């Protein structure tokens, strides 16, 4: 079994302070309103699954959380700090959040180990030897120590995504955002990636994941959030939301997965 080290010690903010707090998030692209007032709290050690149809705004919501997208209105708080304040340095915020996307996560011209250690070294100023020690330890835990010196194209898609996850957590981020990280994988490779996410969740990593893997969301998430047309229609405990959805729109969406 993989034993990823637990996340770093609790920060100074009160335990009740959500890791991520989104308030009244609005975002348009041109005339298209994509997020129409989203409120969401994510607490420490929580695994939140974000579900919803393609185009409902899941990726945009994740991207607003780490300031890849600037919001039109609303506020983003990270551990109590209003990071949507225009004076916030986006780089400093991004250094506190790990992100894995559907595609192209690893830099193709860097070895797997350099991918995993780059952020620690460049952004966090960890010296090369220490970063590599930690990187090799993490790669060993996911069974990829022997791939450390390879380039990413020598890895399977599942191995690449697992390496990308390890890269994202190598700096002990406060929050891990996963955006449909298994959607581009061959079906037989999905399980190994989800298993790693499950381990991280059990280890206490705070995770928000956009996903179409409903069975996984039901098993692993502490809370499921259904986004439809830029609003959160319903959220709750997975057993309740999947077993007994309150809203017609949720029921209709979930019926597509039966």
Judged by the rule CB under 6 A, the positions of this chain that interact with ligand ADP are: 29, 32, 34, 52, 54-60
Main-chain phi, psi angles of 124, to 5 degrees: -105, -5
How buried is 172 (Cβ within 10 angstroms: 0-12 exposed, 13-18 middle, 19+ buried)?
A: middle
How many of the other CB atoms lie within 10 Å of CB of 29? 10
- Smallest gap from Cβ 60 to Mg ion, in A, equals 8
Of 44 and 58, nearer to Mg ion (C-beta) is 58
- Smallest gap from Cβ 103 to ligand ADP, in A, equals 13
**Interior/surface letters 143-164, b for 16+ CB within 10 angstroms, e for the rest:** ebbebbeebbeebeebbbbbbb
Could you tell which of Mg ion, ligand ADP, none binds residue 56, using a CB distance below 5 to 8 A set by kind? ligand ADP
- Smallest gap from Cβ 54 to ligand ADP, in A, equals 4
Q: Which stretch binds Mg ion (CB under 5 A): 40-48, 56-64, 185-193, 241-249?
A: 56-64
Beta strands in 70-180 (DSSP E): 73-78, 81-82, 97-100, 175-179
| Residue choice 20, 25, 59, 253 for contact with Mg ion (CB under 5 A) | 59
The owner of tokens 């990187």 is: 135
What is the rounded distance in angstroms from the CA atom of residue 147 to the CA atom of residue 112?
Answer: 7
Of 16 and 54, nearer to ligand ADP (C-beta) is 54
Of 33 and 156, nearer to ligand ADP (C-beta) is 33
Of 21 and 58, nearer to ligand ADP (C-beta) is 58
Residues in touch with Mg ion (CB under 5 A): 58-59
């Amino acid at each position: 079994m993989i034993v990823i080290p637990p996340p770093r010690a609790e920060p100074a903010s009160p335990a009740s302070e959500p890791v991520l707090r989104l308030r009244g998030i609005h975002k348009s692209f041109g005339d298209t309103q994509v997020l129409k007032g989203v409120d969401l709290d994510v607490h420490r050690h929580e695994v939140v699954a974000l579900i919803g149809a393609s185009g409902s705004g899941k990726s945009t919501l994740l991207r607003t959380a780490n300031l890849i997208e600037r919001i039109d209105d609303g506020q983003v708080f990270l551990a109590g700090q209003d990071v949507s304040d225009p004076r916030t340095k986006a780089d400093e915020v991004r250094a506190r959040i790990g992100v894995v996307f559907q595609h192209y996560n690893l830099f193709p011209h860097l070895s797997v180990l350099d991918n995993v250690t780059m952020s620690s070294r460049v952004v966090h100023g960890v010296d090369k030897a220490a970063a590599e020690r930690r990187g090799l330890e993490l790669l060993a835990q996911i069974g990829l120590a022997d791939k450390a010196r390879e380039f990413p194209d020598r890895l399977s898609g599942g191995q690449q995504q697992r390496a990308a996850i390890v890269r994202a957590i190598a700096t002990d981020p406060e929050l891990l955002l996963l955006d449909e990280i298994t959607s581009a994988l061959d079906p037989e490779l999905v399980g190994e990636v989800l298993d790693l996410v499950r381990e991280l969740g059990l280890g206490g990593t705070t995770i928000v994941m956009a996903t179409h893997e409903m069975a996984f969301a039901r098993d692993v998430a502490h809370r499921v959030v259904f986004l439809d047309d830029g609003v959160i229609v319903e959220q709750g405990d997975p057993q309740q939301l999947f077993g007994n959805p309150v809203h017609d729109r949720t029921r209709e969406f979930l019926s597509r997965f039966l």
